[in-house]
């Protein structure tokens, strides 16, 4: 086995080459060839599990008979390969044929090999396949060989899953000209179902995200390219001239390299060839630059490796010139399904929202800011669909089942029909819910709890009023900040806040001070941090910028004149001193505004968000200086469970039915009762009917939620007696498993004809 440094270098090379392979078959070919060489093994083979047939298929081999590839297969529990898959463990034998599970496959010619090392290829806890190395000598593989193969399989499993996903054909079956149906799993963000066509959302000048698209007019695309190349050449010449005095000619050599790459016979010729093959110009630039940069990145020579970044820079320059003249950015027509890697709140709200039937992203998680906004807008959203081959899906037909977090690409007719039926059922259920628009949230045994709305956009206010919200429990003041290209001024803010306050004139409106940082990025004030959830956010930012904080408070106070319904809420508080500083700034602003406006302004009630677990240990201290508490269960869940709310890899661990979360909520209510302070909750947990009834039973004073959830929560409350809710709570609090807790509550809902408040069951896909 090669030395450690060699192993690492070998691993890096293999992973890179596999990543660069254009198809799964080629990736596997490369893999077996390189692994056999790196491990000095006589045989290296990859078997992939065909889920439909429940068989391991020999997909690639270096060393076994080439004719066996694609032909030989083993039942899921057959042979040593089956054993590796079954046990999900390494098997390392010096004499494979003497093992009771050995199964001789004459087509492969493997009788010549004695030693066998098999490693499962696992992806997201599932066995995708098995990699096997073999050699003739009757000697087990070393421990170093084992760990080399394990590391490699762990690194390659994602690439295999991805290659599997982007292939337009089913890798196990014969190619066909019609695109085959596929489905992908993600995380349900905002519930609902949509059937429509994909529109790829790609940020400007981002090479990686340019979608594949057919050229509508090849000559036009060629001429766009030519103009873009001429423009970039001019840019480079200008740069070169500008730098004449600052850089010596050696240092400016790069510009010469760029110009040579832009020679008609160099990159432009290759891009033109792609266009002539049918691609649009932007896609052709992406393909050519990707192919070259992979090649450069694999070079042994470090200098040449670094040229990959120059090439990408050049590609970006051509792309941005093409995009500047882009007349056919696909329009967002009715029933468009927006798909992309990541879509920010600011980018989303600029789009024609009425036409967006659904949103699907490969990044992100259930309580990211964009999802919260999408939920308020009632747009079905699935996030964290990590395997979705975004760039190859432009204009593809999709079904988005945002209840289950599933996306179907090129769905079969029967599935489409079934989903159309479900859509009709949902429309009917929405009509039935309308009956709850005018009712109060009062249980059959007479217990009432106020339901508030969470706002940010004006549409939330309108829907909140329409659905009879008893006030605003959380106004996310950062949202209007996100929709501008600079910090809004005091008067600009006053007008925005006045709208919010006056629509709920006789009801409480809880305005949260600016809560930016982490995933709430302002387009004009980006905070880039390695660990942003633990970084400069919420009150930590505003106390460092008292000029921004005070302007906001002054605007809120001025907006409340004559209405007197303003409550102020402080986000991301960790320590008492932060509250004291904020109160000091608030008092100062109040005095100033009264003086300036010559009116008496009622001091707003002030509350603290319970989002950081440190607050749990300081309830008494903080209660002594504020009027109320509001639980931000989105962040509190993330910090209690140490699970990033935006990371799709750990999304399954982020769960508000976790006993630690439920018991904390219950404990908090007890504390607030003892301290005589009201406590409400404004995280997404309050808008889930299943958890909302538990929160009511705990004794929360109010629940605040997205307008899209108000009617469902109200229906649950109107149909569940408080006595039953309390019994349910007593039953689930001692339970230790989030999934069991959830299904326990679901069972109650089903038994009491409230199934329509649960996510509908997914139809059995027939693809
Ligand atoms: C929360 O954390 O629960 C909350 C309401 O705030 P946001 O989601 O805006 O961070
Ligand atoms: Mg929060």
Check which CATH number belongs to the domain holding 365 and give it. Answer: 3.50.30.10
Q: Report how far residue 582's alpha carbon sits from residue 601's, in angstroms, rounded to the nearest whole number.
A: 18
Banded pLDDT at 276 (limits 50, 70, 90): very high
Q: Does the pLDDT of residue 509 top 90, yes or no?
A: yes
Determine if ligand 1 sits within 6 Å of the CB of residue 688: no
Specify the CATH number for the domain of residue 146: 3.30.450.40
Q: Are residues 315 and 341 in the same domain?
A: no
For residue 652, the domain's CATH number is 3.20.20.60
Convert 125-134 to b/e letters by CB count within 10 Å (16 or more is b): eebbbbbbbb
Q: How sure is the predictor about 237, in pLDDT bands with cuts at 50, 70 and 90? A: confident
Which H or E run contains 29? helix 24-38
Q: Is residue 586 part of a domain?
A: yes
Quote the ligand 2 centre to 611 CA distance (angstroms): 6
Q: What is the model's pLDDT at position 426?
A: 86
Same domain, 157 and 222: no
Query: Does some domain include residue 596?
Result: yes
- Note the pLDDT of residue 248: 66
Q: Specify the pLDDT at position 514.
A: 97
Do residues 302 and 367 share a domain? no
- In degrees and rounded to multiples of 5, residue 591 shows phi and psi of -60, -45
Residues 407 and 376 placed together within one structural domain of the fold:
yes
454 Cβ closer than 6 Å to some ligand 1 atom:
no
How far, in Å, CA of 166 to CA of 323, rounded? 25
Q: Which of 280, 304, 324 is the last residue of a domain?
A: 324
Residue 244, SS3 per DSSP: coil
Q: Is any ligand 1 atom within 6 A of the Cβ of residue 706?
A: no
Q: Residue 575 has what pLDDT?
A: 98
pLDDT of 383-440, one tens digit each? 999 889 888 898 999 999 999 899 999 998 989 999 999 889 888 888 999 999 999 9
Confidence of residue 303 (pLDDT cuts 50, 70, 90): low
pLDDT band at 550, cuts 50/70/90? very high
Which range, 83-92, 122-131, 632-641, is most confident? 632-641
CB of 473 within 6 A of ligand 1: the answer is no
Distances (CA, A) of 271 to 200, 258, 353, 453, 739: 22, 16, 35, 53, 52
Quick one: 288 and 400 in the same domain? no
- Structure tokens that stand for 702 in this block: 């109010």
Tell me how crowded residue 358 is: count the other CB atoms within 10 A of its CB.
Answer: 28
Task: Please give the residue range of the domain that contains residue 526.
Answer: 439-757
Q: Give the per-residue pLDDT at 349.
A: 75
Same domain, 283 and 359: no
| pLDDT computed for residue 6 by the predictor | 47
Q: Return the residue whose CA atom lies nearest to atom 1 of ligand 1.
A: 632
> How many domains would you assign to the chain?
4
Does the residue 172 lie in any domain? Answer: no
3-state class of 252 per DSSP? Answer: coil
Least confident of 125-134, 323-332, 597-606: 323-332
Residue 682 is among the residues annotated as catalytic for this protein? yes
Q: Categorize the per-residue pLDDT at 163 as very low, low, confident or very high, splitting at 50, 70 and 90.
A: low
- In this predicted structure, what is the pLDDT of residue 606? 98
For the chain, what is the mean pLDDT?
88
466 and 544 part of one domain:
yes
Q: In this structure, is residue 422 part of a structural domain?
A: no
584 shares its domain with 728: yes
Question: Mean pLDDT across the stretch 138-163?
Answer: 83
Alpha helices in 506-618 (DSSP H): 539-544, 546-559, 576-597
> Does residue 568 register a pLDDT over 50?
yes
The residues facing 151 across adjacent strands are: none
Mean pLDDT calculated for residue range 285-307: 76
Domain end point (choices 371, 396, 411): 411
499 vs 12: which has the higher pLDDT: 499
- The answer on pLDDT for 359 being more than 50 is yes
Q: Which has more pLDDT, 110 or 40?
A: 40
Q: Does residue 543 sit in the same domain as residue 619?
A: yes
Instruction: Report if residue 416 sits inside a domain.
Output: no
Same domain, 491 and 452: yes
Residue 518 lies in a domain: yes
Task: Tell me the C-alpha distance between 564 and 537, whole Å.
Answer: 29
Task: Please tell me if the CB atom of residue 570 comes closer than 6 angstroms to any atom of ligand 1.
Answer: no
Q: State the residue for tokens 């039926």.
A: 421
Q: Choosing from 135, 162, 164, 369, which is the catalytic residue?
A: 369
Say how many Å lie between the CA of residue 637 and the centre of ligand 2: 10
Whose alpha carbon is nearest atom 3 of ligand 1? 632
Residue 176 within any structural domain of the chain: no
Task: Report residue 467 as tokens.
Answer: 């659905």
Phi, psi values for residue 362, rounded to 5°:
-85, -25
| CB-proximal residues (5 Å) to ion ligand 2 | 611, 632, 635
Res. 565: pLDDT tops 80: yes
- C-alpha angle 63-67-72 in degrees, rounded to nearest 5: 90
599 burial via Cβ count (<10 Å: 0-12, 13-18, 19+): exposed
d(CA 580, CA 162): 51
The residue with greater pLDDT, 292 or 544, is 544
Question: Is residue 19 over pLDDT 80?
Answer: no
What pTM was estimated for this model as a whole? 0.75
- Tell me: do 297 and 153 sit in the same domain: no
Q: Name the residue with higher pLDDT: 310 or 566.
A: 566
Flag whether 523 is in a domain. yes
Worst-scoring range by mean pLDDT, 294-308, 376-390, 504-518, 735-749? 294-308
153 is an active site residue = no
Q: Say whether pLDDT at 490 is over 80.
A: yes
> What is the tens place of the pLDDT at every residue in 175-215?
455 677 888 989 888 889 999 999 998 877 788 888 888 89
Q: What ligand is nearest to the CA atom of residue 475?
A: 1
| Nearest to 628, CA basis, from 675, 662, 698, 663 | 675
50 C-beta closer than 6 A to ligand 1: no
pLDDT at 315: 87
Among the listed ranges 305-314, 441-450, 551-560, 586-595, which one has the minimum average pLDDT value? 305-314
Quick check: 655 and 714 in contact, CB under 8 A?
no
Phi, psi (deg, nearest 5) at residue 212: -75, 135
Counting every residue, how long is the chain? Answer: 767
Give Rg (Cα) of the chain.
30
The pick from 532, 611, 664 for probing ligand 1's pocket by mutation, whose C-beta has the most ligand atoms within 8 angstroms, reads 611
User: In angstroms, rounded to a whole number, what is the distance separating the alpha carbons of residues 59 and 38?
Assistant: 20
**How much of the chain is in helix, strand and coil states, percent to nearest 5?**
50, 15, 35
Residue 314 and residue 346 in one domain: no
């Amino acid at each position: 086995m090669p030395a450690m440094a060699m192993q690492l270098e070998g691993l890096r090379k293999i992973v890179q080459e596999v990543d660069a392979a254009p198809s799964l078959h080629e990736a596997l070919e490369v893999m077996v060839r390189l692994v056999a060489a790196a491990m000095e093994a006589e045989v290296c083979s990859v078997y992939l599990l065909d889920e439909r047939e429940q068989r391991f298929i020999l997909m690639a081999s270096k060393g076994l008979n080439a004719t066996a590839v694609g032909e030989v297969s083993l039942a899921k529990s057959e042979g040593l390969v089956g054993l590796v898959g079954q046990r999900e463990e390494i098997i390392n034998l010096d004499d494979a044929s003497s093992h009771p599970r050995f199964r001789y496959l004459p087509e492969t010619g493997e009788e010549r090999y004695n030693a066998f090392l098999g490693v499962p290829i696992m992806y997201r806890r599932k066995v995708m396949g098995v990699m096997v190395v073999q050699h003739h000598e009757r000697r087990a593989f070393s421990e170093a060989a084992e760990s080399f193969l394990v590391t490699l399989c762990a690194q390659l499993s994602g690439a295999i899953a991805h290659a599997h996903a982007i292939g337009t054909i089913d890798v196990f079956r014969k190619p066909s000209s019609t695109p085959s149906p596929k489905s992908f799993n993600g995380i349900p963000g905002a519930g609902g179902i949509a059937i429509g066509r994909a529109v790829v959302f790609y940020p400007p000048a981002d090479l990686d995200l340019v979608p594949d698209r057919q050229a509508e007019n090849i000559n036009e695309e060629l001429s766009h390219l030519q103009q873009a190349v001429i423009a970039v050449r001019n840019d480079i010449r200008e740069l070169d001239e500008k730098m004449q005095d600052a850089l010596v000619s050696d240092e400016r050599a790069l510009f010469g390299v760029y110009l040579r790459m832009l020679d008609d016979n160099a990159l432009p010729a290759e891009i033109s060839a792609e266009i002539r093959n049918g691609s649009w110009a932007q896609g052709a630039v992406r393909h050519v630059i990707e192919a070259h940069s992979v090649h450069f990145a694999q070079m042994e020579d470090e200098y040449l490796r670094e040229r990959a970044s120059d090439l990408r820079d050049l590609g970006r320059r051509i792309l941005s010139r093409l995009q500047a003249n882009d007349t056919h950015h696909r329009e967002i027509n009715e029933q468009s399904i927006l798909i992309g890697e990541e879509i920010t709140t600011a980018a989303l709200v600029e789009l024609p929202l009425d036409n967006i039937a659904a949103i699907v992203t490969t990044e992100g998680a259930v309580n990211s800011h964009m999802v919260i906004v999408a939920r308020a807008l009632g747009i079905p959203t699935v996030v964290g669909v990590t395997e979705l081959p975004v760039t190859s899906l432009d204009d593809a037909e999709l079904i988005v089942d945002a209840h289950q977090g599933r996306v179907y690409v090129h769905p079969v007719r029967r599935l489409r029909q079934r989903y159309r039926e479900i859509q009709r059922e949902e429309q009917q259920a929405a009509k039935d819910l309308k009956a709850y628009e005018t009712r109060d949230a009062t249980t059959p045994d007479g217990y009432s709890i106020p339901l508030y709305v969470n706002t940010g956009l004006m549409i939330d206010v309108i829907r909140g009023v329409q659905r009879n919200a008893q006030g605003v429990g959380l106004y996310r003041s950062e949202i209007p900040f996100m929709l501008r290209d600079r910090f809004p001024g005091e008067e600009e803010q006053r007008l925005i806040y006045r709208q919010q306050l006056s629509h709920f004139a006789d009801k409480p409106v809880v305005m949260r001070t600016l809560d930016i940082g982490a995933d709430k990025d302002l387009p004009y004030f980006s905070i880039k941090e390695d660990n942003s959830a633990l970084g400069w956010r919420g009150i930590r930012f505003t106390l460092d910028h008292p000029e921004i904080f005070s302007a906001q408070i002054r605007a809120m106070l001025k907006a409340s004149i004559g209405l007197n319904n303003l409550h102020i809420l402080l986000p991301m508080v960790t320590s008492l001193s932060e509250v004291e500083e904020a109160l000091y700034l608030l008092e100062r602003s109040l005095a100033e505004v009264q003086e300036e406006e010559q009116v008496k302004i009622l001091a707003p009630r002030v509350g603290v968000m319970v989002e950081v677990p440190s607050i749990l240990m300081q309830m008494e201290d903080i209660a002594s200086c504020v009027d109320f508490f509001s639980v931000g269960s989105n962040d509190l869940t993330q910090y209690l469970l140490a699970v990033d709310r935006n990371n799709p890899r750990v999304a399954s661990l982020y769960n508000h039915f976790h006993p630690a979360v439920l018991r904390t909520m219950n404990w908090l209510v007890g504390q607030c009762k003892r301290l005589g302070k009201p406590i409400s909750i404004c995280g997404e947990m309050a808008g889930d009917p299943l958890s909302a009834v538990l929160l009511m039973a705990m004794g929360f004073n109010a629940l605040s939620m997205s307008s899209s959830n108000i009617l469902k929560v109200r229906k649950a409350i109107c149909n569940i007696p408080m006595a039953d809710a309390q019994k349910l709570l007593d039953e689930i609090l001692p339970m230790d498993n989030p999934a069991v807790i959830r299904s326990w509550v679901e069972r109650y809902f089903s038994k009491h004809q409230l199934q329509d408040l649960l996510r509908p069951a997914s139809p059995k896909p027939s693809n």
